[in-house]
Structure 1
């Protein structure tokens, strides 16, 4: 669970880096997206591994939640979870399910149309189409709102899950202060960055 989470964090950083190019330079964003969309290694090795990683992480999350609940069939007579754990740690399954629902929307918006374009319709490749397709999605205020809400929940999920992954993987406690600061910064900056991208394209193209 921890290792799959760390793997998905690396993907998240890579995905953000490419998407942020759409703010800096539409041409560079198109070039990078075209490379990622046509590179054989990315399409037929890294992409399937990523999808399997996502499925594994969320299936394991649900499995562990069910297992933990079964481990204590009789509930506490009085339980104050907030006294020794954060809201994020107690609600990882909830924030995770929201993120999973968002991934479904994101796949519907971008991944499925890409697969249809290339492998179903067999349309000729257009290296300049990616920026326009991205902007078109963010012209809808409802969709932008859903993206913003989803990234807030992603932030909450990462605030506990990212640092906890290092602990689960067995890193020594002497690294904990550095890990905590780095993971909190990442967990806040990256989701806010995605929110900025969505709002930027909505505001500048409204």
Structure 2
């Protein structure tokens, strides 16, 4: 870990790899959530599998939590190191000539996403742990859709989720594309990879927003 913190290249590569890992999880998470708007039964089946499969619960879930923590720690380390490395500040900021808004505010969008993850853990992960390992409640394979629907009754809470996904899009817009460069992906496929990353940064957060709004309005019918 100390070697990662001391080496600028190693920090960027570690940040990129952890980010790519989280992008893969994000796609999987979106795929499951998206089924909730057209097939509650499918959503229940997939959620039940993920919630009861030992490999997912006791191997992949800890790895995911470590990946989230590691990514954000490395993000803060990079931000601090980059700020300290700037011996001379810009005398005048010339708009987007130096860097895009997204690249200059990755730490801001990251903090918003981190706060959102705290809310998401409070809404879903903690109740799930209490249900299974504190209350030892009997497993109900059909409970997941109803529990998901309850979280989007409030327009305020739904609005927070929507806003968080907007910041996620901003974070991905720069972060996903730059991760390919950080791991040395610089060849004839680079342009295509960058375009894919930009499309992903829009489509996936937008999909999450659609799910949030559909669930919210389903509560009012």
TM-score, normalised via structure 2 length: 0.91
What residue in structure 1 maps to residue 92 of structure 2?
Answer: 78
- Report the equivalent of 1:134: 148
User: Any runs of at least 4 consecutive aligned residues in structure 1 with deviations exceeding 3 A, and if so which?
Assistant: none
Q: How does 1:157-168 map to 2 (within 5 A)?
A: 157-168=171-182
- The yes-or-no answer on 1:179 pairing with 2:196 is no
Q: Say which of 180, 188, 203 aligns to 1:189.
A: 203
Return the offset for 1:81.
Answer: 5.3
Specify the alignment match of 1:26 in structure 2. Answer: 40
1:93 maps to: 107
Q: Give the equivalent residue in structure 2 for 1:55.
A: 69
1:45 maps to 2:59 = yes
Matched, 1:205 2:216: no
1:54-108 deviation digits (Å, cap 9, x = unpaired): 0000000001100111112442222325113211011111101101100000000
CA contact (8 A) 1:81 1:90 kept: no
Give RMSD over aligned pairs. Answer: 1.0
Name the SS for the 1:174 alignment partner.
coil
2:148 counterpart SS class: helix
How many angstroms does 1:49 deviate by? 0.1
Corresponding residue of 1:17: 31
Task: Indicate if the aligned counterparts of 1:102 and 1:150 stay in contact, CA closer than 8 A.
Answer: yes
Gaps of 5+ in 1: none
The TM-score normalised by the length of structure 1 is 0.97
